[in-house]
Chain A
Amino acid sequence: MTRRITIDPITRLEGHGKIEIFLDEDGEVDNVYFQVPELRGFEKFCEGRPVEELPSIVAKICGVCPGCHHMASGKAVDAVFGVEPTPTAKKLRELFYMAHFVHSHTAHFYALAAPDFVLGPDAPASKRNILGVIEKVGKEIGTEVIRQRRLAQEIQALLGGHQTFVVMNVPGGVRRGLTVRERDDIVEKAKGFVKFAQFSLDLFQNVVLGNKDYTDIILNGPYSLKLHSMGLVDENNKVNFYDGKVRVVDTEGKELYKYSPVDYLDYVAEHVEPWTYLKFPYLKKIGWKGFTEGQTSGVYQATPLSRLNASDGMATPLAQKEYERMYSVLGTKPVHATLAMHWARLIELLYSAERCLELAWDNEITGKELQAQLGRITGEGVGIVEAQRGTLTHHYFTDSRGIVTRVNLIVGTTNNHAAISMSIKKAAKGLIRKGAEVTQGTLNMIEMAFRAYDPCFSCATHSLPGQMPMVLEVRDANGELAQRVVRS
C-alpha cells in the first residue's frame, strides 16, 4: 500500500510552503517533495522602472529582510552608475546592516529556534513557543529579547527612514547622515547588543550544549548533510555580510572558488522543476546532479554555518573566540550538522553587535560626504551581500538613461532550496519508520530540519508563538485518511 503524507505549513517564502512525503509499501519513506507554491515575479515587473527606484521596490520582496534586498540593490545601482559610495556612506550602510542582523538573528533564535532547545523537541506543542520560552527562562529575559529587537529596529528606522522598508540608498551613497548625538546613542545601544549576544551564547552553552540529549541531536541523527559551503569573505577570508568576495569551500573544507560579485554567472546556475515555483541554484562548474549530497554534488548551502565554514574566522575579537570554540567543540571543520546552524547564527549575532559598535565608534561615521560624484551610466550592475538566510545576488541591466531592461535575482533562501528539500527528506527517512505511529513529536523533529535554515518562508514565523502551523495527513492508496495529526 502506497501512503502519502502531506505537511502543509501554509507559510512563506514568496508565499507558502508545502511538503509531500510518499511512503513505500513497507511504510518507509520513498520520496519527499518540498514545494513552494507561489511566485510574484519581481524580475519581470522591475523592467521599465528607473534603476534608482529599485532599492525601494525590491525591498518589498521580503518584509522580514527588506534591508538585505535594499543593500544588494543599492550596490548593483552603484555599479550601474559606475560609482563607489563615499567612505562615510559605505560605513553608514554597513552600520544599518549590522543592526538589521542583530534584529533578525535575535528574532530567529528566540522566537523560532529556542523553543525546541529550551523546552525540548518533545515538549507539549502548546508550550513550544516564545511564550513557553519566556515562562521557562523568566519574563525579564523575554522582555529583554523584545527590547533588544526594538532597539535594533530603532537604529534601522533612524538610518533608513522607514522602520521596515528602508529608503536609505541612493546611487553612490545614502540620503541621510548621523549627528554626533545620534551616534552616541547608537554606541550605547550597540554595547547592549554585545552583552545580549554574549548572554545568548551563554544560554546556548548552558541549556543546549550542557544537555547530552541535545548535543546528540545536533551532532548525530538524521540532521547532517554533506554539501559545499558558500559565504562572503573580506580580504583576510573573514566573514563579512556587506562586502567582499564569494567563497565556496567543498565538503572537505577546501576552497573551490572565490569570485567577485560581477562574475557570479560563471559559478552559479539555476535548475527548474515543474512542481514548484522556486528554482534550484547549484554550482555551475559541477552541474546539476539532482538532489544528491557529497563531494560530487552541485548542491551547496548558504547559511550562517556555511558562512563560517567558508571563512577562516570572524573579524571581531569576541566572535572569533566563539568561532574557535565551536569548531574545537565539534572537532571538525567544515561542520555538516544542520542544527549547528543555530550555534553559528549566535556567533554571527555577536559579530554583528561588535561590528555595530566598531562602526559607531568610527570617526568617519558622522562625516558629511554622503554621496559620491556619479560616473557615466554603465548599463549593468551586480550587487551581492549576505542576507541572514544566504548569499543574495541582484543583477540589473539598463538602457543608457538608466531605465531597467532586465533583472536577475538569486535570493537568500533560494540558494538553499535543494538543501532544504534534502534535509527534510533525510529527517523524514530517519524519523518515519515502518509500523511506528507518526506523532506530534515526529512532526516537530521533521520541522526542525528546515527550521534550522531560518528559511524565508518561515520569515514570518519570527513572531510571537514562533511555531509553524502543521497538519500531517497519512493517506492510504485510495486517498482515504488513515491518520491525521494536528499540532494544537
Chain B
Amino acid sequence: MEAPKPKLKLAVYWGAACGGCCVSVLDVHEKLFDVVASADFEFWPIAMDIKYKDIEEMADDHLDITLFNGAIRNSENEHMAKLLRKKSRLLVAYGSCSHLGGIPGLANFSNRDEIFRRVYEESESTVNPEKTRPLSEFSVREGLLEIPEFYNDVRSLSQVTDVDYYIPGCPPQTDRLLEVFSAIAGGSGLPPKGSVIGAGKRAQCDECVRKKTENKKIKKFYRPWEITDDGESCFLEQGVICMGPATREGCGYRCIKGNAPCRGCYGPTPGVTDPGTKMMSAIASIIDEKEPDDISRVVDDIVDPAGLFYRFSLPVSLIRRKL
C-alpha cells in the first residue's frame, strides 16, 4: 500500500488587492473540508498568525505553492513578492491584478502626485488647507511612524519577480482552482513554466452562450444604454463592445450570463501579448465600411478605448503607463 502523500504546504498572500481572490478561495463552500484535508495553509494573512518575520525564517522553497493575488502598488507589496518567491517552490500569480495589473493598474493612466492631489487635496469632502499628505516616515511626539512607500505606478507580479504559473480571472473561478489543486496534489504532469493554468486555450467567443452569425458587420458602435439588449444575440453584433474576441475563455461566462459584455478579466488569448492590439484588429475586421473617413467615424463611437481594451491589463500592455 502506498504511503499517504504528504500534505501540500500552501500560502495565500495579497498585494494591492480587494479581497475578492481570497473570497474565491473561500467559495469552495462545503468543499473547504476537502481542501483542508490535502493542504496545510502555512501562511494566509487573513486567517493565520504567521508574520513576515516567520516567513523570513523559513528555509528557501519551504512552501510548495504560493498563490499571490493583488498588484504591486507599494514597497511592501514588492518586498513580500520577492520574499515569497524565495520561499516557494511554485509561485503562482493568482487573479487579474497579479497576472496583468488588474483594475488597480488603471492608476497607470495617472501618477502618484495626481492620485495624492485628488484624494488628499481636491476631493470634494476633504478639508486640508495645509495640503497634508501621507509620508512613508513621519515623526510624532512619541516616535517614528512608518508606512510603505506608494510607488509612481502599478506593476504585475511577473514585473517584479519570477513567476511559475498564472491563474487568471477577477477573481478566478473557484472550480478551476480546485482542478489546479488536484492536478498539483496528484502530481500529474505540470505544464511548462510560465503557462496560464486554470483557464481555456481559446477565445471567449468560441463557446459563448450568446447567438452569433458568421458574418459580423457593424456600421455603428453604441454605448450599452443607447440600445436595448435583446438578451440573446452577440453583443458585438448588436454594436456593443465586448472583449470576448481578445479574451481567454474559462470564466464560465458569468458576466455574459448576467447580460453584461465581457471586460477581459481572463486576459489575452494564448500567443497574444497585448489585448488592446488584438481587440483593435477584431474590431477592424467587423466594421462594415470601406472609406477611411467612414471607418474612423465608426471607431470614434468607441468611448475610452484605452480604458476599455486595457481594463485589466494596462501595466503589462504596450502602453504600460502614462509617461
Binding site for B on A (CB under 8 A): 2, 4, 8, 10-12, 14-16, 18, 20, 22, 30-31, 33, 35, 37-41, 43-50, 52-53, 56-57, 60-64, 66, 81, 125, 143, 146-147, 149-150, 153, 157, 160-168, 170-172, 175-176, 264-265, 268-277, 279, 281, 284, 288, 371, 374, 395, 401-403, 406, 408, 410, 459-467, 469-471, 486-488
Given contacts A33-B140, A175-B258, A463-B22, contact A150 B115 (CB under 8 A): no
Which single residue of chain B is at the shortest CB-CB distance from A15?
A: B16
Which of B54, B107, B124, B308: most chain A CB closer than 10 A?
B124
Q: Per a CB cutoff under 8 Å, which of A40, A46, A168, A275 touches B135?
A: A275
Task: Please indicate the chain B residues that have their CB under 8 angstroms from the CB of A281 in the complex.
Answer: 125
Is A175 within 8 A of B229, CB to CB?
A: yes
Which residue from A11, A61, A403, A488 sits with its C-beta under 8 Å from B46? A11
**Given contacts A18-B147, A20-B145, could you give 17 more A-B pairs where the C-beta distance is less than 8 Å?**
A12-B46, A22-B143, A35-B147, A37-B147, A40-B104, A43-B119, A44-B118, A60-B20, A147-B29, A163-B27, A164-B20, A175-B258, A175-B260, A276-B147, A410-B125, A469-B49, A471-B53
- How many residue pairs between the two chains, A and B, have CB atoms under 8 Å in the bound complex? 273
Shortest 10 CB-CB contacts between residues of A and residues of B: A161-B258, A63-B20, A460-B46, A167-B260, A175-B259, A41-B115, A22-B142, A63-B19, A37-B147, A45-B106
Q: What's the nearest-Cβ distance from chain B to residue A461, in Å?
A: 5
Cβ of B150 under 8 Å from chain A: yes
A61 near B303: Cβ-Cβ < 8 Å: no
Compute how far the CA of A16 lies from the CA of B17 in the bound complex, rounded to whole angstroms: 10
User: What residues of chain B lie closer than 8 Å to A45, measured between beta carbons?
Assistant: 104, 106-107, 109-110, 115
Q: How far is the CA of A478 from the CA of B166 in the complex (A)?
A: 45
A35 pairs with B145, CB closer than 8 A: yes
Give every chain B residue within 8 A of A46 (Cβ-Cβ): 106
Q: Contact between B145 and A275 (Cβ–Cβ < 8 Å)?
A: yes
Q: Which of A10, A172, A406 contacts B52 (CB 8 A)?
A: A10
User: Judging by beta carbons under 8 Å apart, are A2 and B127 in contact?
Assistant: no
> In the complex, A48 Cα to B303 Cα: how many Å?
9
Q: How far is the CB of A148 from chain B (nearest CB, A)?
A: 11
Interface residues on chain B, size class: 35 or more
The 8 Å CB contact of A274, one of B54, B106, B135, B229, is B135
How far is it, in angstroms, between the C-alpha of A401 and the C-alpha of B118 when the chains are bound? 22
- Among B24, B26, B53, B118, contact of A43 (Cβ-Cβ < 8 Å): B118
Residues of A within 8 A of B118 (CB): 41, 43-44, 47, 406
Closest to A393 in B: B125
Contact of B132 among A38, A272, A471 (CB under 8 A): A272
Taking CB atoms, residues of chain B closer than 8 Å to A274 are 132-135, 138
B120 near A279 with CB under 8 A, answer yes
Contact (Cβ within 8 A) B132 A273: yes
Q: Return A440 CB to nearest CB of chain B, in Å.
A: 10
CA distance A483 to B307 in the complex (A): 50
User: Once the chains bind, are B255 and A167 in contact (CB under 8 Å)?
Assistant: yes
A143 to B134, CA, bound (A): 44
Shortest beta-carbon distance from B303 to chain A in Å: 5
User: A residues within 8 A CB of B260?
Assistant: 56, 161-162, 167, 175
Using A63-B21, A272-B126, A460-B19 as known contacts, say yes or no to A50 and B223 having CB atoms under 8 A apart.
Answer: yes
Chain B residues near A401 (CB-CB < 8 A): 303
B304 at the interface (CB under 8 A from A): yes
B134 touches A150 (CB 8 A): no
User: With a CB–CB cut-off of 8 A, which chain B residues contact A277?
Assistant: 134, 147, 150
Q: Which residues of B contact A44 (CB under 8 A)?
A: 107, 110, 114-115, 118-119
Shortest beta-carbon distance from B115 to chain A in Å: 4
Minimum distance in angstroms from B128 CB to a CB of chain A: 5
Q: Does B148 contact A (CB under 8 A)?
A: yes
Cβ of B318: which chain A residues have Cβ within 8 Å of it?
A: none
Partner of A272, one of B73, B109, B120, B223: B120
Task: Note all chain A residues with C-beta closer than 8 A to B255.
Answer: 161-162, 167
Judged by a CB distance under 8 angstroms, whether B103 is at the interface is yes
B30 at interface, CB cutoff 8 A: yes
In whole angstroms, what is the CA distance A35 to B144 when docked?
12
Give the CA-CA distance A29 to B207 in the complex, in Å: 62
CB atoms of B76 and A52 under 8 A apart: no
Residues on A with C-beta less than 8 A from B3 are none
Cβ contacts A to B, 6 pairs, < 8 Å: A33-B145, A60-B170, A63-B20, A467-B49, A469-B45, A469-B50
Which residue of B has the minimal Cβ distance to A484? B53
Asked, given contacts A2-B142, A41-B115, whether A63 binds B30 with beta carbons under 8 Å apart, the answer is: no
Q: Chain B contacts of A30 at CB under 8 A?
A: 142
Given contacts A171-B225, A272-B120, contact A62 B128 (CB under 8 A): no
Most buried by B among A44, A56, A64, A166: A44
Hey, which chain A residues are within 8 Å of B140, CB to CB? 31, 33, 275
- Confirm or deny: B282 has a beta carbon within 8 angstroms of a beta carbon on chain A: no
Contact indicator A40/B107 (Cβ below 8 Å): yes
B123 touches A (CB below 8 Å): yes
Contact present for A161 and B142 (CB under 8 Å): no
- Pick from B26, B142, B171, B308: contact of A464, CB under 8 Å: B26
Q: How far is the CA of A53 from the CA of B7 in the complex (A)?
A: 43
Q: Is there contact, CB below 8 Å, between A168 and B258? A: yes
Nearest Cβ in chain B — how far from A68, in angstroms? Answer: 12
> Which of A279, A374, A466 makes the CB contact (< 8 A) with B47?
A466
**Are B254's CB and A163's CB within 8 A?**
yes
B48 adjacent to chain A (CB < 8 Å): yes
Query: Does B185 count as interface, using CB distance less than 8 angstroms?
Result: no
